[in-house]
Amino acid sequence: MSDTMIKQDVLKGGEFLIRSSKPEDVFIPEELNEEQLMIKQTTQDFLNQEIAPLRERIEKQEPGITVALLKKAGELGLLGAHMPTQYGGAEFDTNTNTVISDVMGPAGSFIVSFAAHTGIGMLPILYFGTEAQKEQYLPGLVSGDLKASYCLTEPGSGSDALAAKTRADLNAEGTHYILNGQKMWITNAGFADVFIVFAKIDGDKFTGFIVDAHTKGITLGHEEDKLGIKGSSTRQVFFENAAVPVENVLGEIGKGHHIAFNALNIGRYKLGLMCIGGNKGAIGMAAQYANERHQFGVSIGTFGAIKHKLAEMAIRNFAAESAAYRISQLMQDKKAAAEAEGMSYGQAMLDAAEEYAIECSILKILGSEVTDYCVDENLQIHGGIGFSEEYSAARAYRDSRINRIYEGTNEINRMLMVDQLFKRALKGELDIVGPAWAVQKELASMPSFEKSEGDYAEEHKTLGDFKKIALMVAGGAAKMQMDGKLNLKEEQEILMNCADILIDIFTAESLLLRVQKLKGMDKEIDQDIYEAMLQVFFNDASARISKNAADALGSFAEGDLLKTFLMGLKRFTKYPPVNVKENRRLVADVVLKSNGWSF
């Protein structure tokens, strides 16, 4: 499947803050084509028929189970869905790969092994490998004959990857690099055939290597006793005079950080997406129990407190899903444009993921934090039974916690988002200064009392106001920094506030565009349900954005300047009151009636 249409003037990374999109610009799950639906069903069958029956054996890390399942996934084409056909892959477009990751979300511990293999295990070779390296390794990784692992983290270097101590020194013959060092928290280490390893040549040139996992001098630590994802292999990897051929250097010497960070962009996107897919399973688990469990003569699903939980789980996940599929379309459009200009399939993928690094971080944070909410409320709905390891609610609760940590902690991702936004503005790639100045001028003028008109007029106006708030906060902070009164690198709390505003803006706009597109589609759907979700989300996002903006402004402004900002904040947070109780009940009733996710 290939991209069939090249869109002009595609939204650039981070540009959502200063530019509006239209419903026709986004892709939504409701418009999957026949081929995508077939691939979705194939993936669902693999999940139901191959993974689900073996879940307990996977969790116990029964020898050979995960390896056999990866091999089966390879036979079905799931390991190579994002790989070029010349290496045995299917070369599906971005949206089709998004569907696969979404459906695989509820796969529990297996999804960790699957994602590490197909993402950070394979992509560095596709992105940065020589043709000889691609021909040597990718076919085996696509088929599942080879399994991949990614060795970056060390005891002294996590988020600060460049602080790595593992060394690589060229031998006297100039034929091999001798690796010495230690890596930790390495997924798939227990059964991997290929390691992507990062080491410093001569102690200072941070470089990537493709390493045969069976090389003499490589030893493994014991399996880590983890809080969750117990079915995935996680070990330390030790290198003691391990000889790696010079032709196994990956990419350029001293440019390993380009490999490490670019591989993480798409990894963050897919992690967020798989979280969203997993949430659908948690929502189904919660709905089924709420329907089955009776207290005081009725099912607990009839209680308002339970309906609130179910509805909020569904609303948050529906909004996150809207953001995920929107990002998917952005990357697909960018990739198609790059391929049309002569880029290879792999390089076009890399270019697209790099362009939307901000959006990938948004989805990683959003998906993982919605997951934490969903699994927590699922366990709460189950009550005491949810606390028992005999039931799936406890496992889902434990498994979710890692998602906010790996692929870059959510805190690191928040800071990266804002840093990327400012860097793009300084490079002239995004004009934030002009719109921010326009907001400042608007604050000095009389407010307009014109009534908004048209479908979802209040939401469109409110979304515009959300963006004005973000520009007001970011512009104010940037001005203080230019005046030497603020150093944003030392003000992480302000960066966190700004990041949360950006997350809410992107998600709110994605949800609005999806609901608008659904209204224009010739399908039998109950639009009232989607409008109920939209109103609840905008109501709550308005409160969150107002608080984050007030917290940020109060951290760097004072006196008359602060008063001006707070007056502007009040002016830009006027989403009309809605009956969130009735809207949530409407959504909850759909979840209960369908006994799970049905959107």
* Positions marked catalytic: 407
3-state helix, strand, coil in the chain (%, to 5): 65, 10, 25
CA atoms 244, 245, 248, 251: torsion sign: positive
Contact 549, 497 (CB under 8 A): yes
Which three-class secondary structure state does DSSP give residue 60? coil
Angle at 47 between CA 113 and CA 331, to 5 degrees: 65
Element housing 330 (H / E): helix 304-340
Amino acid occupying residue 526: D
Residue 449 neighbours by CB under 8 Å, 6+ apart: none
3-state secondary structure (DSSP) of residue 515: helix
Number of alpha helices (DSSP H) and beta strands (DSSP E) in the chain: 19, 10
CA distances from 81 to 2, 145, 495 (A): 12, 16, 37
**Contact between residue 191 and residue 66 where contact means Cβ atoms under 8 Å apart:** yes
- Give the DSSP per-residue string, 98-124: HHHHHHHGGGTHHHHHHHHIIIIITHH
Helix extents (H) in 341-400: 345-355, 357-382, 392-400
- Rounded to 5 degrees, φ, ψ at 196 are -95, 110
> Residue 208 is inside which H or E element, if any?
strand 205-212
Please say whether the dihedral angle defined by the alpha carbons of residues 256, 261, 265 and 267, taken in this order, is positive or negative. positive
Q: Which residues pair with 239 in a beta bridge?
A: 181, 218
CA-based angle 56:58:60, to the nearest 5?
A: 75
Handedness of CA 431, 434, 440, 445 (dihedral sign): negative
Q: With residue 182 as reference, give the H or E element that holds it.
A: strand 176-187
DSSP state letters, 66-88: HHHHHHHHHHTT-SSTTS-GGGT
| Amino acid residing at 284 | G
Instruction: Give dist(CA 267, CA 261) in Å, integer.
Output: 10
Q: What is the 3-state secondary structure (H, E, C) of 258-290?
A: HHHHHHHHHHHHHHHHHHHHHHHHHHHHHHHHH
Number of Cβ within 10 Å of residue 205's Cβ equals 14
The number of beta carbons lying within 10 Å of the beta carbon of residue 417 is: 26
